[in-house]
Amino acid sequence: MSVTRVLVADDHPLYRDGLRTMLEATDDLVLAAEVQDGEEALAALAAHEVDVALLDVNMPGLNGIDTAARIAVESPEVAVLVLTMFADDASVFAALRAGARGYVLKDSSRDDLLRAIRAVARGEAIFSPSVATRVLDFFAHQHRPSIAPEDFPMLTTRERDVLHLIAQGRSNPQIAAQLGLSRKTTSNYVSAILTKLQVRDRAQAAERARHDHH
């Protein structure tokens, strides 16, 4: 069985202790390094083999978002999972733009956090349904012609086109007609987007995105 090597960067010793204990209890995850800020995280990445970097958003000195951006350039093979106490819109989009593959609340259950670590190690993207709904809401109220690649690095160009139309409230047949796709192909794209953004119900998410500001 392959082992996933995890770097933990958090300035709270008690939280680091909890993460260490959690990782030690698994067979497939191992703690590669444990640090308390972004500069130490970058140094640890240079010294150790790491597959997944768990970064707290709010760290002294180099914060989690800036550290994620540096890792994307200097160690692109490392999957970044951002940890935060609050799912505020600004840090969600900052994490996405910095290249993070996941955004997880620090009060998530042990199982949810382990699932997120394993998913980003496999190359998947992990965002809670509440975060995905914020994403749709953001684009539903941005009158922009398209979704920029840096907003969703985990989506393909065509998936971003489809997401843009979902956020505008278009149905699958309308999306198929507008983009010149078959209905089956459109359905496949929508399923892929929902999987990557961790949203269970396309209609419910789009509906909530359209009505949150009314």
129-185: pLDDT as tens digits:
666 666 666 666 655 556 666 666 777 888 888 887 877 767 778 888 999 988 888
Please tell me whether residues 122 and 45 are part of one structural domain. yes
Asked whether 6 and 117 are in contact (CB, 8 A), the reply is yes
pLDDT on residue 202: 56
Q: Which domain holds residue 199?
A: 131-211
Residue with tokens 């394993």: 118
Report the 3 state secondary structure along 159-199: HHHHHHHHHCCCCHHHHHHHHCCCHHHHHHHHHHHHHHHCC
Please tell me whether residues 120 and 190 are part of one structural domain. no
Residue with tokens 């507008």: 178
Partners of 103 in the beta sheet?
Answer: 82, 127
Number of domains in the chain: 2
Report the half-sphere exposure of 32 (CA within 13 A, side-chain side): 23
pLDDT on residue 12: 94
pLDDT on residue 17: 95
* Other CB atoms within 10 Å distance of the CB of residue 182: 9
Please tell me whether residues 62 and 156 are part of one structural domain. no
Domain boundary among 70, 105, 127: 127
3-state helix, strand, coil in the chain (%, to 5): 55, 15, 35
Domain boundary among 127, 145, 167: 127
Q: State the CATH number of the domain containing residue 46.
A: 3.40.50.2300
Please tell me whether residues 92 and 176 are part of one structural domain. no
pLDDT on residue 213: 39
Please tell me whether residues 109 and 194 are part of one structural domain. no
Please tell me whether residues 111 and 156 are part of one structural domain. no
Give the strand order in the sheet containing 126-127: 29-35, 4-9, 52-56, 79-84, 102-105, 126-127
**pTM flag (> 0.95):** no
Q: What is the DSSP letter of 88?
A: -
Task: Give the chain's residues under pLDDT 70.
Answer: 1, 87-90, 127-152, 169, 195, 197-214
Please tell me whether residues 173 and 85 are part of one structural domain. no
Spatial CA neighbour of 128 closest among 210, 214, 186, 205: 205
* Other CB atoms within 10 Å distance of the CB of residue 38: 25
Q: What single letter denotes the amino acid at residue 47?
A: A
For 176: left if phi > 0, alpha if psi spans -120 to 50, otherwise beta; the answer is alpha
